[in-house]
């Protein structure tokens, strides 16, 4: 039986994970108000955000397999969400420069037909190198910084070069979906993975 697989995101980063697995899926953003979902425990917050996205689409598509993720960094003790303006992005990059922190990647997988309803948060420890002011200005000019938490995306080669060190799930940190869990749960749903 062909199952409809829905990625609750339009993120090119998250789509690249499913593209790499050669599964047929549809990318549909859940469009939740992320600022209304809060928890002082950042592990719980990331999981709640991913679950809210998955559950919204699972109500509309009850026979589909739903995958959702949400990610944000904690750097130098501060949570960084998506900037609203270029000036805010510039400030974020200055604050993150040379910092150490933790990256939170909430993940939710719902397959009602197989009684699978799983969510978790994958955390990754990281440190960034120091950025120059000129580098920050050029980064803002070249990349869509308003689309990324903390105005920083490490999935392109330049952004990856801004990272000094990571410890944890590479795919969660780079693409916003823990590929190791995506593969495990798709297989539990009987989906063939053909990289």
Q: Which residues are catalytic?
A: 70
Beta bridge partners of 100: 127
CA distances from 59 to 44, 64, 93, 118 (A): 22, 10, 38, 16
User: Is residue 70 within 8 Å of 54, Cβ to Cβ?
Assistant: no
As a dihedral over the C-alpha atoms of residue 158, residue 161, residue 163, residue 169, rounded to 10 degrees, the angle is 80
Taking Cα atoms as reference points, which of 21, 9, 7, 11 lies closest to residue 64? Answer: 7
């Amino acid at each position: 039986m062909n199952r409809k697989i829905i990625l609750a995101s339009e993120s090119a980063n998250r789509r690249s994970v499913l593209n790499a697995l050669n599964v047929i899926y549809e990318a549909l953003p859940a469009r939740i108000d992320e600022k209304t979902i809060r928890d002082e425990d950042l592990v719980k917050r990331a999981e709640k955000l991913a679950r809210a996205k998955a559950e919204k689409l699972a109500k509309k598509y009850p026979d589909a397999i739903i995958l959702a993720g949400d990610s944000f960094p904690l750097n130098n003790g501060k949570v960084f969400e998506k900037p609203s303006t270029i000036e805010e992005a510039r400030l974020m990059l200055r604050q993150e420069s040379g910092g150490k922190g933790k990256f939170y990647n909430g993940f939710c997988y719902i397959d009602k037909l197989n009684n699978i309803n799983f969510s978790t948060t994958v955390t990754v420890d990281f440190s960034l190198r120091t950025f120059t002011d000129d580098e920050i200005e050029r980064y803002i000019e070249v990349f869509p910084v308003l689309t990324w938490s903390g105005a920083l995306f490490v999935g392109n080669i330049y952004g990856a070069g801004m990272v000094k060190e990571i410890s944890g799930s590479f795919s969660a940190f780079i693409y916003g979906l823990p590929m190791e869990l995506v593969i495990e749960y798709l297989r539990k749903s009987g989906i063939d993975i053909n990289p």
